[in-house]
Structure 1
């Protein structure tokens, strides 16, 4: 894709609620997974933007500015047939309207390219910060016998603030996301995710009640 439209990827993942204490899932032996890498810690800080009446959230679209981790930048996430698409732009942007405080880093403006991407949903209405999500993430890559990444397991400790109401909450969740060496058919990907899910549930996870951190932050559940 061109820089104007951002770079685009598809995320295929499942999310799980976790109550302390929960042990590390035993992923080795599920499908092609032969190795669980040592953990990598990431500190993530994201501010989500929407119209005052949450037009993007109603359409299940998320627009955020995130610092930390390998994909820091501006993102737009949408539902697709299998998973969620994520468009990515680098931090810095290219101008746009003043969108308010971006988590202590001063004033941030939503780049014009992102405003155009969501204009059909917003009708050109102003975008304001609606949520801030800070996440202490522990990532473990799940590799096949040749050392290629099949999936990632993220252990997230989340602190979130609804910037419209002032409400705050904290929780722990797990994500299992497929990676580059995942199966190349939808049926096989589903079977792999089902196998990984069985291990996650056995370790103390439960299927998440919210589809995203943003949804949980805005709804409080």
Structure 2
């Protein structure tokens, strides 16, 4: 069985020397948690022709962190739809996941296309009542393109809304805008790449 959620996030490119800003006071943010660090390793799969990437779909198996397992990201109206399955015993995708992909790729063979290793430092942003509004991630990323052997490393900041985020699209956008102002002031720029996978593959 899988579960799904809407992923609403913004990504920023930042150089190695940048210091994350204080985010208390951005919108309703009243509390910043102590940062926690996790080592995440994600292996992405697709067809030889990148049929999934062309449909703006990403499939990965990720180890490490709180949400390790199989993930499928699909385009959505606001943000992206993320489906999640537990790791299971094998490196094979769950049958339900494979069935879903067959509708998109037919009989094409799936293979590993990229490996992304990420040392992620996460801070939870809460309101005065302690509800989690968003998470701020300071990501130190290494991407390996398994199709041509190219590698690259970079740092990015990511802000993703959590369950306590405002319940209207307008208010969610306003909160993200407030946080964004502080990040840009700290030297970040809005990411030119839509995802770590796209950057690794040079798409």
TM-score, structure 1 as length reference: 0.89
Equivalent residue for 1:171, pick from 136, 147, 154: 154
1:184 to 153, 157, 167: 167
- TM-score with structure 2 setting the length: 0.97
Q: State the shift of 1:124 in Å.
A: 2.2
Task: For residue 111 of structure 1, report the CA deviation from its aligned partner.
Answer: 2.3
The answer for the alignment partner of 1:116 in structure 2 is: 99
Paired with 1:33 and 1:89, the residues of 2 have a C-alpha distance of 31
Aligned equivalent of 1:62: 58
- Say which SS state the counterpart of residue 156 (structure 2) adopts: strand
The answer to whether the aligner puts 1:145 opposite 2:128 as a matched pair is yes
Gaps of 5+ in 1: 96-107
Cα distance in 2 for partners of 1:111, 1:37 equals: 35
CA RMSD across the alignment: 1.1
Match of 2:194 in 1: 211
Give 2:14's match in structure 1, choosing from 14, 18, 22: 18
SS at match of 2:18: coil
Q: Which runs of 4+ in 1 moved over 3 A?
A: none
Query: Is there any run of 5+ residues in structure 2 with no aligned partner, and where?
Result: none
- Once the 2 structures are TM-superposed, how far is the Cα of residue 26 of structure 1 from its aligned partner? 2.0
* 1:76 alignment partner in structure 2: 72
